Structure 1
């Protein structure tokens, strides 16, 4: 065990503060650094190239110097890499080759997609590596700090690093979800599908409602969020609690006529949303047929409507291909 490794182990076991350096003072890095500082750790320096990163560092980490990545790494007992996924390997490899990452040092990244493999060069020089992804969206401002309380972190770590990883998550106010190395991409896909695609879905619903109100002068200034907020809030809470049992609406009732009317209006007024409507309607139908809420004969009629919609002149080639794939899978 190197001197630095003994020091880090002793400090984490005793609850003493670590000297922390952060490379990538973006929305995530600046907030995590501020949270670690509040937990008693010393933020020795951060690296950030953009004006926005420097502004975040000044706002959230007053007094912390902004330095070059190698200088940050050389000062840190714990080095936190919060750079974009596609840059992560290059940054870690460069710092390892330059000697800025060294034996016994804790090197942690916050990518959801990557596990420990992306830090293999750091591990090769003796660093102790951890992947620790916060399952949260960040604004890069102080409003994110209380949101970390109770946040789940997707953590991948070796047996010797599990204890320190657990302690760091606790310092941030969160709880760990232990993710196997080979399941990192699936873990991240689940979060991106649930969160990012939810934003797209809500944006499309807003556009449709805006079209509903567009021709009525009495509804000038109408905000679709007023209609959607209570509905979506209840739907999300119910889905998180009850899963598929929370499904309601025309698919659950097997209302083929209503679905047909939806498809006609969406195709006419908001055709760019038609592929996602059809895809999600088809998946919803599969679920309510599987659990017995809609009879197969009723479902077959709705499937024909969905397939006709994506095979029509307004449908893209990709959407028609998806329909064919779904039909072949059945």
Structure 2
């Protein structure tokens, strides 16, 4: 009985030890799994965040391109500005693919195809421009018209206007202004009225210039006619009221006054110089050439010092 009891006790102990060892192994495995799981979850989270971030960047890029295309459609004629904005605001890896996608999804596909044609033909146009040499005997208007013809031939008429229409508009404004300036059949008031009409015909070109710039152009036209001083001053006052602020009028008046004083000083100097030359002329027969030159230079330096201290 004692042997059988002892054997039973030994078997029970072995079973208990086995259970303890099994539980210990299971617990250790669970701990190891719990320690490794957060790293796996974190990696998955980072991967998901990265995908979402890339998607967000693409969407933002498409939204930006949509706005830029809308601006180009509403205000066509400056493809250079569009391309500069596009490059500055594109933050994806393949900007050309992003632009192609934006054009493919643009609501107005007729306009989108026009943009595509323009961009596709731009390299060929730039190559032609680099190899084009125009005669210096051509007038500015003739040179511009020749370049515009090249644009239409290379890009297409509609594409040329889409890409460079603002330049065309401003050039037409400048050429028309030159015609007003050179027209000898116009008096001062007629020139100024023609200039007002020109501004109404080309509002976009007019808006590109400051009010002071428009005032200076008006004064340039006014100076083409030889008016009496009173009439000129009266017209200047009208132009200043039309184009300038009070502070600008004061600045212009001070500047004009300085210019008048400087011109008077120059006139006085020229008169004094002429008188000096007349006074020195008789001395040529009395002095040697070296003595005459010495006296002339001394008196000339004295005159300059007194006139321009």
TM-score by length of 1: 0.25
More helix by proportion, 1 or 2? 2
Larger Rg: 2
TM-score by length of 2: 0.26
